[in-house]
Amino acid sequence: MLNDETIKPELKTPENKRVSNDRYLEKLEDIKIRVPKGYRKIIADYATYKKTNTNQLVITLVNEAMQHDGINTQIPNGISSVKPVSKQGD
């Protein structure tokens, strides 16, 4: 007789994958923004239209706004290009 375990084997992340994910996430910070109901989908659809994802869209728009304002900081769009930001006073 079939049960949930034979149809859907339990998905477990191997330890090395979990460690790798943890190391990746240590290099990132979260920013949470709030938008009126319904606009999250509009933003996500726009990101898809631009052939990107919401996170990359926001980073790109922030970079463009900072460049427009004469700020020479570029937020990396990919984790491989992330370099530590020095804190003031260091």
Residue 62: strand, helix, or coil: helix
pLDDT, position 90: 44
Contact 20, 41 (CB under 8 A): no
- Those residues of the chain that have pLDDT short of 50 are 90
- Structure confidence at residue 64 (pLDDT): 95
Nearest-angstrom CA–CA distance, 62 and 64: 5
Cβ proximity of 81 and 63 under 8 Å: no
Q: Which candidate, 28, 75, 82, 35, places its Cα nearest to that of 56?
A: 75
